[in-house]
Amino acid sequence: MKIAVFELESWEKQRFESLAGEHEVELVSAPLSPENAANYSDAEIVSTFIYSDLGRETLEHFQNLKMIATRSTGVDHIDLDYCCKDTGVAVANVPTYGDHTVAEHVFGLLLTLSHNLYQAVDRTRKGDFSLEGLEGFDLRGKTMGVIGTGSIGKRVIEIASGFGMKVVAFDVNPDEEFARKQGFEYADMDRLLGASDIITLHVPANEKTRNLISEAEFGKMKQGTVLINTARGAVVNTPALLGAISDGTIRAAGLDVLPEEPVIREEAELLRSVFRKHHDLESLLADHILLRLRNVVITPHSAFHTREAVERILETTVNNIRSYIQGSPTNLVNIE
């Protein structure tokens, strides 16, 4: 098999070198894109992270492609219709690898906001030890609304219980047994939005969840709500979030994801018509504004990024590739 693996850091390469004894393996640091796909067009298996473009324009370069092994849970960077319906290319993901990791990041963002840690650290580094403007708020006794109770959402609920928080959750497939065990309630979306002091998002990116939190949803929240998003940027309508921050509905926001995060540093591309065609400039502008607000903390999609979690991702991905080659594929993504 000819295997091409993209978006690799140097230390990650040894994991895939274990496949080289039996197969031809090409290890690439850059993402896969329409511009470089022709250089690897003979690959039968492709593995990427989320910053590669696995749309139709890219995939049509691969005439012998049999499998895509994404090193992520999310698959919104892959044209699943092209793979699963049009060509029969198998797509495997990593269903779980960082549930505890991402859940811990949620509370890293939340504690940064609740204790004004960013401002406090920045101030003391400059020799200013005053407390003015640093008053925070306790987590104990607050109500956390958890939207999405998959593996990450469940870990968030467990941690919230340790902080003495109340939890209300929403999920299209509620786990009532887990709710009884943890002592929280499921509610409809409207009730959750109105009852929560803090709302955290743990849903996949798809057409049903795009702009899940927009003007209407912000309008149902109480004044001074804190929003945490470690899911996907497209789940929150960024211009609507700016409006909610402006009118005080959102007191603070902790974001690990933004709708236009892969291109947010590419200002030089803004003048190109091809760029304007493929990207939402209103969201991109809103992203830039969010980066400059003192009550917004943004991390670079790094919630998953611990050594342990990445090791689990690599191990599962290599196993996915081996299993496919051996005729017993694992973790295949299916679309209805």
Domains (ranges, CATH) in the chain?
A: 2-97+307-325 (3.40.50.720), 99-298 (3.40.50.720)
Amino acid 336: pLDDT: 63
Is 198:143 a contact under the CB 8 Å cutoff? yes
Residue linked to tokens 């760029």: 275
* Residue 301 falls in the annotated catalytic set: yes
Q: Considering the candidates 71, 77, 279, 301, report the single residue annotated as catalytic.
A: 301
- What pLDDT is stored for residue 255 in this prediction? 96
Q: Which is the catalytic residue, given 71, 232, 251, 279?
A: 232
Per residue of the chain (336 residues), what is the pLDDT tens digit? 999 999 999 889 988 988 988 899 999 999 999 999 999 999 999 999 988 999 999 999 999 999 999 999 889 899 999 999 999 999 999 988 889 999 999 999 999 999 999 899 999 999 999 999 899 999 999 999 999 999 999 999 999 999 999 999 999 999 999 999 999 999 999 999 999 999 999 998 888 999 999 999 999 999 999 999 999 999 999 999 999 999 999 999 999 998 755 544 444 444 444 444 444 556 666 767 887 888 999 998 899 889 999 999 999 999 999 999 999 999 999 876
- 261 counts as catalytic: yes
- Output the pTM of the full model: 0.83
Active site residue 125: no
Catalytic residue among 15, 100, 261, 279: 261
The DSSP line for 277-328 is: HHS-HHHHHHHHHHTT-TTEEE--S-TT-SHHHHHHHHHHHHHHHHHHHTT-
Q: Which of 240, 241, 168, 161 lies closest to 200 in space, CA to CA?
A: 168
- pLDDT score recorded for residue 284: 63
For residue 290, the model assigns a pLDDT of 82
